[in-house]
Structure 1
């Protein structure tokens, strides 16, 4: 007897949905955070087949096999570079109080690079000023210029950098540029053509395409912003190569670090590793890693993170720093979708008497993310966390200060995408003077912000609360 002949297609489809639900109930929680598992299982429960198809595409934060195999070749390919950096006399353990020593040990174990003494750190908060400084440094280059950016546009800002690179090539300087294929998709064809015509070696990072033999996943992006000039000057931070007002009705506010000294070699190391991942070319000449003199007194370290470094999570580092804080923590980020561990760390810090500030942007450019992050405000305010909403501009800067000892500035947001999916880079600085300068920048944010109160926030309309909490249910997938 043909059993299928007695079943309607509707009954078969109904049975298939329950089979998907039951199987995914076993598969999804495997090696996944509880928050992410809950988000996926909720999706599976309501829309089994769409959830199954999406899970097949982006369910695990892993690069394709070809890229993982290429990454496995990195240690051997860069053995000389790693040894050279590790042997530098500038390698220096930071002097920290006991409560922060474990966090420093964590950084050392998470990253591939040691802490370096003798660096000069300059914080650049002027959008056009940081672009002008970068262009001036490119104009002063004598050997090479390396740029790695999530967004590289062909607008006024982009052309100022393109023209500077063209002038450098004319002087005999080798220029290499990496651009994230999806982050720069609106401008990539024109930017790549313009750079190639001017003699710049340029590659799109993680290109995506249905017919590409080695297509990358659309959700796993290289979100880093790095510039290295002559192996002696480095830039890292939140700012892309694009006009501040490239999104209609929004003007970005950023923070960039210009650094000189031995730690620049670690930024160079991140660039050459990403260059190898895209081109399989090993860059390890002496000119790329010159002997660097002391230029200041800041101890600093670079932490690359992302799917290539599954254990080197910047989220872990932020949690550890918050747990180690004794006086004050200030977190600045445009996108805030915290893990349960970070929420607990922030709440515990306030109970220990730590002053905790969260600086977010009042103008938003991603509505769903904004709704999801708003759902956390009541919990944070009730715990004693002070929330400041920066007015007028989209505060796109990403940094953290702990007590008066540790500063973290880089490309990483405080959300699950930056913690798990994106390739990011952070500069951790152990220096009181830099921390004081960063604190002054944060005080300027406070003065230009609206501070939320628990009473006012709880009084918002019920419809807003419902929409925000629905968005929160899918926040681990954002």
Structure 2
């Protein structure tokens, strides 16, 4: 072929890609995400296009969206009998409207008469979950992002084996991609099979079996439900605190997590989320599960479960965080291992400081994911200049807790980070709680973290070398590729 014709063909293809990208990429996408994708495609047309085709669609496949619609209808029908317990009096007007917004977006109803107790210690959390499993008479529902049978979790698995020997059904959901790449994967599946547990991969990447979606859409939830009487949720996975990864062990990294034990009507809402996820993967809902069966719990907390993820029309968790930030009147304390806010969240945080609120952010001094770590750092200067106090939890620990407290009466805890991945790509579960006694528990955790951490100052931050600033800014651009 004449070289001139080759050049013309390449030029036409290049221009076509750029023009089509301008039309297609920004549609129904955040401006920051659209701009990031356009920059990638304009600078590297062919690689950028291939990457966009691979991970450019943040939504589930059409057949899974249809199934999600069935799930949403199931949740909507379940709301009538999940609205249980007597609510606390004198709720703020903003709290009532926030709860209504959550329900409009697909959350469960607000329930009263609930007990909620935080568990800070990693091993203690596993021991309490194992003890709850051993009390099972009807069923055990397990759903964790990472789920591994190793030395640390052996007692948890032995508890599952013991109840299976008594004939109690055990159902397990574990994220496919996250577990596939971690040690002890085959051993874990063999142990589940040997005990007779029913298990499914969440969001499996199995194209030969017709199971395919954007590969980085993940089920990030952490849930345990026993008999509909007690539930656990939070940030902790079922694995060793190093995740058994050689790189983590070599660096001495250990994860620090926070779980909450729940009893009362709210357990049915947690169970409804599990059952909806089980239906997504198994195409059926187990028989004999009575979501109406729930007595008053050990406390009188008002609680609401807010599920979020690519199956919903909007980012439910982001809107919850925004509502809380704008409603706060005294203080906002945030704990997030991966903090990469979008423009709306950054504006809400900086606006809170300008309104005179005390705003604090707890993050890890050291990161386990380089791109996210540097993207997070790119926001520190703006936060510090706005008056946000940033606390760095000391290495070699990774502060993996995810929680927010608002004033003295409202808090959230769950699996959701405050980053764009958790807002748009991950299936998450968040617990909204109203009650001074629960916020006091969170305050004790915050005080413990504060004592262990050191405060990052603006003067210290401005001494960062240029190479760090360049890496941070580049990572910030790539983080917007949603």
Q: TM-score range by the shorter chain?
A: over 0.9
Tell me what 1:406 maps to: 410
Q: CA contact under 8 A between 1:231 and 1:289: conserved in structure 2?
A: no
Give 1:358 shift.
0.7
1:424 to 428, 445, 455: 428
Q: 2:90 & 2:225 partners in 1: Cα distance?
A: 28
- Stretches of structure 2 that go unaligned for 5 or more consecutive residues are none
Tell me what 1:192 maps to: 189
- Stretches of structure 1 that go unaligned for 5 or more consecutive residues are none
Secondary structure at the counterpart of residue 51 of structure 1: helix
1:183 to 178, 181, 186: 178
Q: Are 2:132 and 1:137 aligned?
A: yes
Q: CA contact under 8 A between 1:81 and 1:284: conserved in structure 2?
A: no
Q: Are 2:359 and 1:356 aligned?
A: yes
Question: How far does the alpha carbon of each residue in 1:341-392 deviate from its partner, in whole angstroms, 9 at most, with x for none?
Answer: 0111011100000000010011210011111111110011001111111013
Give 1:100 shift.
4.3
Tell me what 1:42 maps to: 39
Q: How does 1:224-263 map to 2 (within 5 A)?
A: 224-246=221-243, 247-248=248-249, 249-263=252-266
Give 1:265 shift.
0.2
Question: How far does the alpha carbon of each residue in 1:241-282 deviate from its partner, in whole angstroms, 9 at most, with x for none?
Answer: 001122322100000000000000000000000011100112
Q: Are 2:364 and 1:371 aligned?
A: no
Give 1:55 shift.
1.3
Which moves more between the two structures, 397-406 or 159-168?
159-168
Q: 1:352 & 1:228 partners in 2: Cα distance?
A: 41
Q: CA contact under 8 A between 1:78 and 1:282: conserved in structure 2?
A: no
Secondary structure at the counterpart of residue 275 of structure 2: helix
Give 1:189 shift.
2.7
Question: How far does the alpha carbon of each residue in 1:154-207 deviate from its partner, in whole angstroms, 9 at most, with x for none?
Answer: 211332222111100111211111111011112433212211111111111111
Tell me what 2:451 maps to: 447
Q: 1:74 & 1:220 partners in 2: Cα distance?
A: 18
Q: CA contact under 8 A between 2:306 and 2:316: conserved in structure 1?
A: no
Cα distance change of structure 1 residues 211 and 442 upon mapping to structure 2, 3 Å threshold: same
Question: How far does the alpha carbon of each residue in 1:24-64 deviate from its partner, in whole angstroms, 9 at most, with x for none?
Answer: 11211111111111211111111111111121122121111
Using structure 2 for the length normalisation, give the TM-score.
Answer: 0.94
Which moves more between the two structures, 275-284 or 176-185?
275-284
Q: 1:402 & 1:224 partners in 2: Cα distance?
A: 23
Tell me what 1:152 maps to: 147
Cα distance change of structure 1 residues 182 and 465 upon mapping to structure 2, 3 Å threshold: same
Q: How does 1:78-93 map to 2 (within 5 A)?
A: 81-86=78-83, 88=84, 90=85, 92=87
Tell me what 2:460 maps to: 456
2:339 to 336, 341, 347: 336
Secondary structure at the counterpart of residue 115 of structure 2: strand
Q: How does 1:467-478 map to 2 (within 5 A)?
A: 467-477=471-481
Using structure 1 for the length normalisation, give the TM-score.
Answer: 0.95
Q: 1:232 & 1:436 partners in 2: Cα distance?
A: 24
1:213 to 210, 216, 230: 210
Q: CA contact under 8 A between 1:381 and 1:387: conserved in structure 2?
A: yes
Cα distance change of structure 1 residues 290 and 433 upon mapping to structure 2, 3 Å threshold: same
Which moves more between the two structures, 282-291 or 247-256?
282-291
Q: Are 2:116 and 1:112 aligned?
A: no
Give 1:129 shift.
0.3
Q: Are 2:4 and 1:7 aligned?
A: yes
Q: 2:86 & 2:9 partners in 1: Cα distance?
A: 65
Secondary structure at the counterpart of residue 477 of structure 1: coil
1:313 to 306, 312, 316: 316
Give 1:472 shift.
1.2
Which moves more between the two structures, 264-273 or 50-59?
50-59
